[in-house]
Structure 1
């Protein structure tokens, strides 16, 4: 019999339960939807209260009250990007049940907070370390925060100007490759060289996580401006370029069961606890299981016993940077049309720990928040974004998706999706599979969206493209649909009549996924598991073909070529050739290429280097390599590979037989407040290090930090759904389901995740009951 305890919970209208299975997955049962989402919020707070409290305070711009002046600038940035529109329209956009669900969810969070006030021992230890308390939630807090959607493509517009100001379009393709192929048109009135990099600071800060250090926590009011840039450019660029995901749905005609198999693994920056949490929600009329974010009700990726769905980022351009000429006598007036328009100013009083209340001045043009002021140049800079519209909070339309029972209902929900723009893959027990893009898409009548534009009225959005006219792929002849953030708009699509965007993730993961899905028959649950954890590197394969023609005289280069020639291009943790290749690729080849054809002052802007842009120029060298481009290219390949071989000897010793990728590349999770812990506790709460396979270009995405090869982002959560038998579905989340270091489910999934293994995801009542290790029975108070 499952061990159980009973708790009386004020706010609950009828009995319910939260069963925890052996892997920490909660199976929440209630007699009505209000109680179901109430209990989801309650459980999210019980397991992740510090995480969701910090998420709320960061997103709403409330950090300074808890942590002091070092967070004033971040609060200001966050408040600039809040949803400030009509709240009734906002709730309505997510479906008729949304307001009631969001309200119940936040009441559940508040119910647990009330319990911690009555019994402080329930409070997560992080609050004690920082001397703070959790705050009460309101229903609107679920959706007002928009900063998870700040992704495309304000950052790149400004970086492109930096490159264009010193070089040209060909050079910028090494930073960010474009598809369909286009030479961005410089808008009338723009001199790219005049756009400052500082215009990025507030945008970066609005997207940054709340970070902690002794210096920041001790900052004074005078030192507050120092913390305007809490994250460096490289971190933001890596996040923008490597945030991705994989998903696919295989038709029953290609599977061993005759019904579809669906897989989804979103890729995001890793954290402790993880961004995602797995949950099973059951009440009359709704029975859905999968993953979401602990601060949001419902399930974003999963199945409901009839349909299953997954998502990845689809790169619609949803942002634009505007710059404005200001009046010479009044910097709050900006040129618009034939006259001048005044900036709208909002002043907000905030509490600051240890100080008097401060006034934050927020400025907005007709297009959006002012992110930079340059009085010397007489300019303002603002961001216009699709996510300021009602119904565009990140992922919340999933509240509709999880209720669909067939493709028509799913598609009807998908065409209301706002942000972030996504590839949705779908499968159901009727046998259908489908792919469709989803996301609000602005119409730009007279520019391509790749560079900043004057805000004087010449470059205005003309509404939104009809999302119902976006493509749909349904039961294709090849028997599967998939996406991996590549440019995957179907062949023949008219990009001029209906554009989406031009900046995508490289084809590497997509190429490998398509290769496996098209060659393995029949497809099984094990096939999807193996593909989600596949570590074959397509760039390694492509570069191996270029190396095959080299005959170097340098012994190190010759030894390196021989070593790579016999390799299967799989970046396993034990692979010596894989270690050599990644050191060459990440530390030597791209740098040697830039040294040869890119001005030195632009090298920092190239990092990490676009995969497709880099491979394109190496496979088809041009005049930048000299009078004999192929020979010039080969010299770069040989010299950089020889240098990488030498570094490998310094890193892992002189004997290549002793090298292994996992001796460099490792998974490691450190508690975010480790600097406040004793050395012994910090070590006990850390997880890892463990040797890790893969890279950012393999289906098992394990993007790493170049300085120490530590995995920083990738698929912390994975799901494979068997539509023929939902109880055979599997999942994984790392490092565990709980954010409490004292919980047995704080780290229990880490070893399996690192090894590419899974946990079962039971769905039917009998399977769930057989998997439970504990149950909390809840009675109305």
Structure 2
């Protein structure tokens, strides 16, 4: 008995020690939000107040000290995210994730981002404020790496922490500049469609095809090369652990349209969802500087921000800054390619990629005068037809970090405009409003012209001098508006008007969101913060009811079954709202998918149809093709004896939609609620492991919103009838210059990327409901709800 008691005591002690050790380890991994901290490289004591949502409010004597502290607190909440961000451009994901990320690494290595980063750094003066502040930020990050706890992700994957360098900042900005890769998804696909089906099919896709365009003639094998390129890029982007920018809304209303006579500013950048989310908020106050900013991981200067004097934000411009050229190899020497002046030798470089649990992989990449040969890193493309990628980002001088510094340190509107002019890529709409009553937007990005016969939406002829840009435009020719007479500016990724006697080529979104924004802004002159908050959550489509009306005016109502008629009634009575309780969005989205499938798949086949569905072009086609009763696409070429028309295809799609929904959700239409099929889960890279999913992922949740409404959601159309949201508002901000200290915002999950922090997902419920919290700037209010971290010089 005595032995049993002793054994039980030992066992109990071991269990208790294990629990205690686990508890201590758990608490050791939490961010430090209070107490005392010593940092080298700061000159005087600084204070950090972490408010009730974990947002740091940094009070320091100098910007250098403030940026050092920012680097430390940013790293303690987001070091894992920083690690992923800095690994993408130089091709270092395989090093931690293994061979599954090798395609991603090969592709990004070939883009030349790292080489462009090194060139930019060589031109950066070490006496400049940009260099000094970026170095201060890196000092803070590296001190956390040396002295702070190791994030759980590093331990689980088994990787060592490494110091951050200036190159990492530039590489992160390079990845951001690569952005949505829409040129890779569109240009090769359109070339393949042109070669397979001919020009008449392209006319109805409204891509502004010029009949005089010089197009290279290709074999069937080359068509496969182009579709393979699209497939590989889609896979690479979908597998990336860090989400790309995809769109955005913003509008800025002058005091002439507000109840207070002061400017109102709204912005909600649309980005692929992830956990942690994109933005890290930080409020900095020094003797000479104040900014409430939104930072991406690893970058010292905010991409979005405001203070008491001005606010700025961004949307994607969606301009075309990538062209593809098909080169022609020398007939007997594959190391040379044809140019207008004879054959030249490819520039080549090799790079070794480390792969976890595998041998290192060495790749060789060739570059022509246009850019890198994508065949060298995408194995499914035939090596006999080299395709080169020409990208503005790597061909022009990179000043994006300088631009962010200039914009975030502005003292007048012209400073922000100057900063916008320094951005060559990615294409961004810089939105602006200030306390003096100014509103403005500038399209940032280095725009260029081709000769009139060249259509850059297709693969161009690399052997010709006729298809190379003839002029890079001065920034003064970029789209912009400053204090327009209509008293507001807006952007919804739609086609901008011209001020340079040309329409700027791009991959613009349809008019849906832009139309809705104008519908709401134009007639109203009594805007306030509350009304703006409602508008930024608006879920009503301005276009969907018009599409339904176009269909219902040509259909034969009595030819449908009772349940099909009920579905039509629901659609006809629908005002375009997309809440989780509505039924109409479920019917509409299923019908739209089937209408697209029944219209385009017979000509394109499975692969090209699925690729088309992943382009912005497809979104523009939804309304345009429905209105075109004479479109060549309506006929189903698989039915040899019949020629189908618009009514046939749209009616067939409605019948199939109802049948599919009956099978999926039951026969009672009242049960077909949008929230049952439209859901959002914020995925962490480790959430793909079943046993870790519940600890790292956030969700899933039924979700309001839809494609191309103001509360924009991205999701795939497929046969499942489920719409798993992959993208949407990465933050919603409303800034009121009549009451700046009570301006409002929200994040999709939380401020911290540390799963042990109470701020990992504490904003999720508010975000899902369309609610907000304050962006606090009043020190007394901040102190009243905050914990305090005192930072002393070592």
Distance 1:305 1:157 in 2: 44
Q: Which residue of 2 aligns with 1:485?
A: 493
Q: How does 1:702-713 map to 2 (within 5 A)?
A: 702-706=713-717, 707=720, 708-713=722-727
1:670 matched to 2:683: yes
Does the CA contact (< 8 Å) of 1:162 and 1:192 recur in 2? no
Q: Which residue of 1 aligns with 2:388?
A: 382
1:717 matched to 2:731: yes
Cα distance change, pair 192–451 in 1 and its aligned pair in 2 (3 A): farther
Cα distance change, pair 593–69 in 1 and its aligned pair in 2 (3 A): closer
Q: Which residue of 2 aligns with 1:520?
A: 524
Distance 2:728 2:675 in 1: 16
Q: 2:510 aligns with which of 502, 506, 509?
A: 506
Q: How does 1:441-590 map to 2 (within 5 A)?
A: 441-445=447-451, 447-458=454-465, 459-489=467-497, 493-496=499-502, 499-549=503-553, 550-552=555-557, 553-555=559-561, 556-586=563-593, 588-590=594-596
Write the deviation string for residues 14-71 of structure 1: whole angstroms up to 9, x where unpaired.
Answer: 2222221112222122221222222222112100111111111222222333344444
Distance 1:622 1:525 in 2: 46
Does the CA contact (< 8 Å) of 1:185 and 1:448 recur in 2? no
Q: Which residue of 1 aligns with 2:318?
A: 315
1:690 matched to 2:701: yes
Q: Which residue of 1 aligns with 2:150?
A: 123
Distance 1:519 1:94 in 2: 52
Does the CA contact (< 8 Å) of 1:173 and 1:610 recur in 2? no
The Cα of 1:463 is off from its aligned counterpart by 4.8
Q: Which residue of 1 aligns with 2:47?
A: 17
Q: Which residue of 2 aligns with 1:62?
A: 92
Q: Which residue of 2 aligns with 1:359?
A: 362
Does the CA contact (< 8 Å) of 2:103 and 2:236 recur in 1? no
Distance 2:488 2:568 in 1: 37
Does the CA contact (< 8 Å) of 2:399 and 2:423 recur in 1? no
Distance 2:654 2:311 in 1: 45
The Cα of 1:170 is off from its aligned counterpart by 5.0
TM-score, normalization by structure 2: 0.86
Q: Which residue of 2 aligns with 1:38?
A: 68
Does the CA contact (< 8 Å) of 2:251 and 2:489 recur in 1? yes
Distance 2:689 2:405 in 1: 38
Over the residues paired in the alignment, what is the CA RMSD in angstroms?
3.0
1:104 matched to 2:108: no
Distance 2:362 2:759 in 1: 43
Deviates more, 1:758-767 or 1:588-597: 588-597
Cα distance change, pair 610–66 in 1 and its aligned pair in 2 (3 A): closer
Q: How does 1:146-295 map to 2 (within 5 A)?
A: 146-150=174-178, 151-169=181-199, 171-172=201-202, 177-178=206-207, 181-183=208-210, 185-187=212-214, 189-191=216-218, 194-195=222-223, 196-197=225-226, 198-200=228-230, 207=237, 209-210=239-240, 243-295=246-298
3-state SS, counterpart of residue 37 of structure 2? strand
The Cα of 1:390 is off from its aligned counterpart by 5.3
Cα distance change, pair 402–391 in 1 and its aligned pair in 2 (3 A): farther
1:428 matched to 2:431: no
Q: 1:336 aligns with which of 318, 336, 339?
A: 339
Distance 2:52 2:281 in 1: 13
Distance 1:729 1:203 in 2: 40
Cα distance change, pair 654–41 in 1 and its aligned pair in 2 (3 A): same
3-state SS, counterpart of residue 436 of structure 1? strand
Distance 1:578 1:40 in 2: 44
Q: 1:637 aligns with which of 647, 650, 655?
A: 650
The Cα of 1:268 is off from its aligned counterpart by 1.0
Cα distance change, pair 334–389 in 1 and its aligned pair in 2 (3 A): closer
Distance 1:208 1:626 in 2: 33
User: Number of matched residues?
Assistant: 736
Does the CA contact (< 8 Å) of 1:11 and 1:111 recur in 2? no
Does the CA contact (< 8 Å) of 1:300 and 1:399 recur in 2? no
Q: Which residue of 2 aligns with 1:119?
A: none
1:6 matched to 2:36: yes
The Cα of 1:296 is off from its aligned counterpart by 1.0
The Cα of 1:462 is off from its aligned counterpart by 3.7
The Cα of 1:767 is off from its aligned counterpart by 3.5
Q: Which residue of 2 aligns with 1:603?
A: 609
Cα distance change, pair 270–394 in 1 and its aligned pair in 2 (3 A): farther
Distance 1:188 1:589 in 2: 31
3-state SS, counterpart of residue 56 of structure 1? helix
Q: How does 1:287-306 map to 2 (within 5 A)?
A: 287-306=290-309
Distance 2:469 2:125 in 1: 21
The Cα of 1:677 is off from its aligned counterpart by 6.0
Does the CA contact (< 8 Å) of 1:532 and 1:699 recur in 2? yes
3-state SS, counterpart of residue 749 of structure 2? coil
The Cα of 1:777 is off from its aligned counterpart by 1.1
Does the CA contact (< 8 Å) of 2:86 and 2:171 recur in 1? no
3-state SS, counterpart of residue 743 of structure 1? coil
Q: Which residue of 1 aligns with 2:770?
A: 756
Does the CA contact (< 8 Å) of 1:442 and 1:465 recur in 2? yes
Distance 2:576 2:127 in 1: 47
Deviates more, 1:82-91 or 1:444-453: 82-91
Deviates more, 1:545-554 or 1:731-740: 545-554
3-state SS, counterpart of residue 84 of structure 1? helix
3-state SS, counterpart of residue 341 of structure 1? strand
Deviates more, 1:527-536 or 1:90-99: 90-99
Cα distance change, pair 90–472 in 1 and its aligned pair in 2 (3 A): farther
Q: Which residue of 2 aligns with 1:219?
A: none
Cα distance change, pair 736–626 in 1 and its aligned pair in 2 (3 A): closer
Structure 1 residue runs without a partner (length 5+): 117-121, 213-235
3-state SS, counterpart of residue 301 of structure 2? coil
Q: Which residue of 2 aligns with 1:228?
A: none
Does the CA contact (< 8 Å) of 2:478 and 2:500 recur in 1? no
Distance 2:138 2:773 in 1: 29
3-state SS, counterpart of residue 440 of structure 1? coil
Does the CA contact (< 8 Å) of 1:312 and 1:422 recur in 2? yes
TM-score, normalization by structure 1: 0.88
Write the deviation string for residues 161-187 of structure 1: whole angstroms up to 9, x where unpaired.
Answer: 11111113453467x643xx4437542
The Cα of 1:525 is off from its aligned counterpart by 0.8
Cα distance change, pair 443–93 in 1 and its aligned pair in 2 (3 A): farther
Cα distance change, pair 128–33 in 1 and its aligned pair in 2 (3 A): same
Distance 2:374 2:356 in 1: 25
